[in-house]
Amino acid sequence: MSSTTNYILGVYDDEDEVLHAVSEVKSKGIKIEDVFTPFPIHGLDRAVGHERTRLPIAAFMFGVLGLTCALSLISYTMVFDWPMIIGGKDFFALPNWIPVSFEGTVLFTAFGLVITFCISNNLYPGNQPDLLDLRITDDKFVMAINVDKNKKVSADDIKKALKDSGAIEVNVK
C-alpha cells in the first residue's frame, strides 16, 4: 500500500463486533478495502465481499506443468537421448513413469503455489511489512476504507459510520 493513498481506519476490539460492523458499514454504501485481524474470522471474507482466491487455478496449471516436465524429462532421457532397457520393458514404459510423474506434479504444485502466494502478497526477503496499525498483530481488528474509492461518501460520514458501528477509535492514515 503506497503512502499516497488515504485511508480511514476503524479499530475494533471484538471479532463479533467487527463482523457485524462490516455489513453495517457496507449497508451505508461505503466500500471496504480490507479488514485486518490477528487471526482468521469465519465468514469475514464473504462479509467483506472479497472475490474467491484464484490460487486453485494456479495449482492446476502448476500441476499440468509438473506432469509435462516430468514426462518430458523421462521420455527424453529414457527413450530418445539414451534408450535403456529396464526390467525387460519397452523404452516407452508408461506405468513405470507414473510414480515419478506424480511426484513431479506434486512438487511443482506445492512449490509453485507457495511462490505464487508469496509474490501475490508481497512476501519476499527484506520486505518491510506495511502495517496500517501495529496492533493488528496483537489484539485489535482494523477495518480499512480507501477514501479515494469512496467519492460518493464524505470522509466525515465514513468516520461517523465507523464510530456508529462500534469502532473504539477512528484514525486517518
Partner 1 sequence: MAGHSHFSPANVEEHFEFTSEGKKRVIYAFIAGIVALVLGIYLLSKGEAGGHEVANAGHEAVKAGHEAASEHLSGGAVSHQPAAEEHYDWTNRIWANVWLNAVFFTGIAIIGMFFVSLQYLTKSGWSSVMKRVPEAFPKFLYITLPILLLVFFFKGDAIFHWMHHGVTEVGNENYDKIIAGKSGYLNKTFFLVRLVGFFALWIGLWLVLRKKSLEEDLIGGTDLFTQLVRISTAFIVIFGASSSMFAWDWVMSIDTHWFSTMFGWYMFSSWHVTGLAVITLTILLLKDKGYMAYVNENHLHDLGKLMFAFSIFWTYVWFEQFLLIYYANMPEEIIYFLERWEGHNKIYKTSEILMVFLNFFFPFLVLMTRDAKRTRIFLKIAAFFIIVGHYIDFYQMIMPGVLGGHAGYGLVEFGMVTVFASAFIYIISDELTKASLIAKNHPFLPEAVHHDI
Residues that bind partner 1 (CB under 8 A): 16, 19-20, 42-43, 52, 56, 60, 87-88, 95-96, 98-99
Is 104 within 8 Å of 139 (Cβ atoms)? no
Nearest approach, Cβ of residue 127 and partner 1 (Å): 31
Is 84 within 8 Å of 91 (Cβ atoms)? yes
Is 34 within 8 Å of 48 (Cβ atoms)? yes
Nearest approach, Cβ of residue 172 and partner 1 (Å): 30
Task: For the beta carbon of residue 70, count every other beta carbon within 10 angstroms.
Answer: 20
Helix 55-75 vs helix 94-120: crossing angle, to nearest 10: 140
Nearest approach, Cβ of residue 60 and partner 1 (Å): 7
Nearest approach, Cβ of residue 21 and partner 1 (Å): 12
Name which of 125, 135, 149 is nearest 34 in CA terms: 149
Please report where in the chains the cell 514404459 appears, as a residue: 93
Nearest approach, Cβ of residue 30 and partner 1 (Å): 20
Q: Pairing between strand 7-12 and 169-172?
A: antiparallel
Q: Which is nearer to partner 1, 99 or 129 (CB)?
A: 99
Cα separation, 5 vs 46, whole angstroms: 25
Q: Which is nearer to partner 1, 52 or 152 (CB)?
A: 52
Q: Which is nearer to partner 1, 99 or 126 (CB)?
A: 99
Q: Which is nearer to partner 1, 87 or 129 (CB)?
A: 87
Q: Which is nearer to partner 1, 29 or 56 (CB)?
A: 56
